[in-house]
Amino acid sequence: LELLAALIGVRLHEKIIHSSTLDFDGSTFHCDNAAVLGWCRSEADRWKPFVANRVSEIRSRTSPRDWKYIPSELNPADILSRGTPLSDPDTLSIWLSGPPFLTNPFPTDFEHILSNPSHPENLSEEKKIVALASTQIPPQMIIDAVRFSSWSKLVRSLASVIRFVNRTRKRAIETAPHVSSEEFAETQLRLFRNIQEVHFESELQNGLSNVSKTSRLFQLRPFIDDSGLIRCRSRLERSSELSFDQKCPIILPGSDPAVSLYILWVHCALCCHSGGVNLILHHLRTRVLILGARRLARSTIKGCKVCLKFNAKRAEEVTPPLPEFRIGSDAAFRIVGADFAGPISVKTEGNSKSKSYICLFVCSSTRAIHLELVPDLSCYQFLLALRRFFNRFPFIVKIISDNALTFKRAEKEIALIRSHIKSKCVQEALAKFDIRWEFITERSPWHGGWYERLVQTVKRPLRKVLGTNVPRFGELATILSDIENMVNQRPLTVVSLDPDEPEALTPMDLIFGKPARVILPDTRNNPISPTATGAAVLSARWRHQQSILNSFWRRFLREYLPYLRSAHWRKPVDPRPLRVGDLCLLEDPNPSRARWLLVRITALFGGRRTDSRPRSCFVKFPDGRIFKRPIQLLYPLEIQ
């Protein structure tokens, strides 16, 4: 109604102008409806037909600037349309004289009320604009291969989806509960076709008629077979001995995840995780031609979890420097390594046989040994052997041994050894003597190689001496004493054939200062007085012994330590550092890696006395137990 009133007002204004003889400078139209003002101030084609037709007529006869806003309380037309009585003086004044701004300047407060496109009535009458946009949706994979771990699962899942679609379209036929070989082969072809549609879209748009020279398919002379698959032409097309797939293989891209699953399936199902890249390519070429197949096959083998388990290499570290206690010039047997050897059969009083054991103590610096024969592995006998050793060499401060798991003996004897070393009475005795006992990492005998090696040095002559004889306990103790003396006189440095060179350095020299030949002072130079003679001889003898002992230690530092600098030094290795949280295979006596346990590293330590490189760690087993193991038994996997 407001719009019609505005239109009638415009028509009436035009009739007045034509019938009047006066000249008008301009005309102003007032309306109290904001929606009508918005229509009149905008283009007519924005609105629906009813509003557009009337706005078009209004705009053809007036200018948008001629339209002003007037409040309802100042609009004289509202007095008549609402039937307002004229008893009110203000209403009567507006009806007779019009609004105040007819005689006064137009109020600026009304200037802000102009066209409002967001007015609800404006929006309701606005014409809807229909825009048509043509977009081309690129082909997409019918199934997401990233969600599957194997090619067979991907194909069988897609075959099940196709079965479901056929049932919904009432085209289902009686099928077996499992996917048949025909369905599997047909689904594979459908999947191959879908892969080609996604990756070779531009080539398929022209039907392979004008393949660009920059296309990956240009040199393959592609064509589309009856099944809609892109195949490669070859020089074997006329062969009657080969199948169609061998003569014209299916072309597949190497960048699709489904193709990676297909190569992994060939590697696992057809190659049985063997043969490497060449065997995979051999099986692929009997049916498909994959772009970049060699690179993809190599990455597939690298990512195969089964192959990764069998191809993993053990963790390695560079050879550490010798710890300080191995090269120090401390007193003999200050730090020793302990180990057991045996059992050795001995005769008893009744000519029956019993077992005896050798307790071996090795000096860490002089490489000297001390042997104690014990009748059994009881805690009492071990304490007696330890006390005898301590009485001979009271400077001992630390004993180093393995965890007894490295002993190659029966399980019962291993348990006995562990129990008596770690028992309360042994620990109390060690505390009394102020001796610390340190255990090397479990299942790492090379950590105690400096004393483990001498076990064989003792056993070898013992076997030759005993042969098939069974000695008595006292006889065996005497034999061990001879072997101990022989081993302690072994040369530590190179033996020279030059008679002018000094004799080779031995552990006995470093322990007792015993030279090869003892030269006593010349008696012809002795004083006449017996008292003076004894004092002079003893003093000279003491100084002579001290000079010999010092010369031995100087030779130890000059000859033996430089020899250790290069002895047993492995070739340079590329260290494979481990990190906390790494997943590793734990080497096991079982020869098959398939039965090795998977463990996770929880902590790294070691190397505190050498080069600060970790060489031991705590590993967590599948059952939750945590054990200490050397890094040489771990084979880190790249699966994190």
The answer to whether residue 594 is domain-embedded is yes
Q: How many domains does the chain have?
A: 5
C-alpha–C-alpha distance, residues 397 and 250, integer Å:
77
Range of the domain at 108: 2-125
pLDDT at position 408: 33
- Are 437 and 334 within one domain? yes
314-332 confidence digits (pLDDT tens): 777 666 667 777 776 677 7
Tokens of 438: 């340190």
**∠ CA(478), CA(483), CA(489), 5° rounding?**
130
User: Does some domain include residue 307?
Assistant: yes
Residue 186: inside a domain? yes
* Of the candidates 64, 61, 48, 77, the residue with the CA atom closest to the CA atom of residue 7: 61
289: which strand partners? 251
Separation in Å, CA 130 to CA 120, 324, 380: 21, 89, 103
- Does one domain contain both 306 and 330? no
Mean pLDDT, the chain, integer: 75
Residue 379's pLDDT band (boundaries 50, 70, 90)?
A: confident
Domain termination residue (choose one: 522, 540, 566): 566
> Which tokens belong to 207?
């039907």
**pLDDT tens-place string over residues 188-219:** 999 999 998 888 888 887 777 777 888 888 88
Q: Provide the 3-class DSSP secondary structure of residue 436.
A: strand
540 and 434 in a common domain: no
CATH number at residue 419: 3.30.420.10
The tokens for 59 are: 């705009």
The pLDDT of 558-571, averaged and rounded, is 52
CB count within 10 Å of CB 140 equals: 10
- Residue 125, pLDDT score: 57
Give 122-164 pLDDT, tens digit per residue: 555 555 566 666 566 677 778 888 898 888 899 899 888 888 8
Q: Among residues 311, 336, 355, which one ends one of the domains? A: 311
The CATH number given to whatever domain includes residue 608 is: 2.30.30
Q: Which of 44, 73, 54, 60 is nearest to 6 (CA)?
A: 54
Domain shared by 169 and 254, yes or no: yes
In terms of domains, do 480 and 595 share one?
no
* 576 found inside a domain: no
How are beta strands 335-347 and 398-401 bridged, if at all?
A: parallel
Task: Let me know whether 189 and 302 are in one domain.
Answer: yes
What is the spatial distance between Cα 614 and Cα 598, in angstroms, rounded to a whole number?
Answer: 20
Tokens representing 81 are: 């349309």
- Cβ atoms within 10 Å of 292's Cβ, excluding its own: 13
Cis before 139 (ω within 30): no
Quote the longest CA-to-CA distance of the chain: 175
pLDDT digits (tens, 9 = 90+) for 501-549: 666 777 877 777 655 444 444 444 444 444 544 555 556 545 544 554 4
Which DSSP symbol is given to 414?
H
